[in-house]
Amino acid sequence: MKIYHYEVRILRTPGVYEWNKNRFTNEEVEIAAQNDTFIIVNDWYFTKIRKEKSDYDTYLNKASIRIRTNDAHLDNGIFYTLYSTKLVKPSKIKSEIQARITKDYSWLLGGVDLSIIK
């Protein structure tokens, strides 16, 4: 089984260092371990992914979209993560992010530039 990791970071105030720049990445990640319930992928954090749907854990083929607007310690911005068994087109990722912004934060985040997703 192949696992693809997609990540988008659109920061309110991007910096000059690699860790605080706006970015879109997509890569195939190796499976480090697995059992009936979880897959551990060999990425920066050895991320644990649940194979079945969960309300609390990251699970396969379900995007996580987080929007932080007033955090004193972490970067503010839009963060998207997806671990998928399928290749996903950038246009689908853009539309998922845009739908979330429109649904929950249109009054605050209107006109967000998603052009880095290509």
Question: What is the reported pLDDT for 100?
Answer: 87
Is residue 115 a part of any domain in this protein? no
Is residue 118 a part of any domain in this protein? no
Structural domain tally of the chain?
1
Are 116 and 24 in contact, with CB atoms under 8 Å apart? yes
The H or E element that residue 49 is part of is: strand 48-50
Is residue 79 a part of any domain in this protein? yes
DSSP 111: T
Q: Which range marks the domain in which residue 7 is found? A: 3-109
Is residue 117 a part of any domain in this protein? no
Residue 101 neighbours by CB distance under 10 Å: 19
Is residue 90 a part of any domain in this protein? yes
Question: What is the reported pLDDT for 39?
Answer: 95
Question: What is the reported pLDDT for 55?
Answer: 84
Is residue 116 a part of any domain in this protein? no
Tell me the pLDDT of the chain (118 aa) as tens digits: 899 999 999 887 776 666 678 899 999 999 999 999 999 999 888 999 999 988 888 899 999 998 887 776 677 888 999 999 999 999 999 999 989 888 887 776 666 788 889 8
Is residue 34 a part of any domain in this protein? yes
